[in-house]
Structure 1
């Protein structure tokens, strides 16, 4: 346990969740790549105002169907998370719905992966109507096969999980509601995209060049805009 604590960080006491981040080093990765991805995940998680109390990098030769990692390593991580009083375990690797459910059942702690972290960031920062609809749709499609989990992003925001699970009738009702929501979102998104297409065609009639800047969170997009245009866009 002492070796594990070398990477322990002091979390912001004002943050509502304490997270243990797990990086996964696979044979096909180049040297140092897994650590770079884990460092990046720390920044992403902190953008959600979650305190990162510890990071751990594990080697994975071959994934296991139940929990991705072997049973011994899984137990070790769960023990560490409980020792550090973590509310959340974040895996820097995609978890299947079954793997996510198994982790939460074994640990009694909310478990998410990089994909869910990124979806949460996009949801937090979506500005346009189209962006809000797109991220809502992505979250619904991500959540649909995971409704049997002990925690969802909504229950985590409320500060409680669905301990003990839900009856099949309630689960089926939830699935129907989510499917209906997905259908409505796709319909709304189609209307918004059609309107955007009309607006774009109007802009193309005016001979003014347009450009887009694309980059990860904290990549320096706002700073680049300020440098190129002399603007004063807020850069965090």
Structure 2
């Protein structure tokens, strides 16, 4: 579908290539043990995961700072669990989480096969809202950094997806045109609508299988992207 027109493929990282939820769960398992916190991981994640998404939305909308995001998602989760955890312990957990997250390197099934398939025909790039200090570590430790010509994060751009400025910066750094560029990501708002508003082609990686829309084509497995490129 896109093969005849696309020269550059832009990927989101977390929840698209890098299996954020799996790596995050392993990180919490590790830091709870190292900090000697007796917490049922499954119960914690049941509360934390949706909270994290809601706080990330506030962060994306510039309503909270990075520091507030890191603190409040943990504080709110523990409060909802009915657990008292001191501010010092919250701050230590927040630091430990960032320090350890990139040490787990699970990718979505088919990531390496897809990148190998695409690299000879397209220029590949990353546009991510993740924190600058760990996104490159994630890619390097997972063995995928060298696939990408340009990696743009929200801290470099000074704005977060879906703001037009981050897509404009990525296109300029990649020396790419919107009409010959494709954005692939999991977030309908940040990745798909953000890129579409800038004139890029879009392909929605809908791995959670929850949404039904006609905004652009959707795939539920990375291997399906080969049908479009």
What TM-score range do you get, normalising by the shorter chain? Answer: 0.3 to 0.5
- Kindly indicate whether structure 1 or structure 2 has the higher relative contact order, using CA contacts under 8 Å at least 6 residues apart: 2
TM-score computed with the length of structure 2 as normaliser: 0.32
TM-score computed with the length of structure 1 as normaliser: 0.32
The structure with more radius of gyration: 1
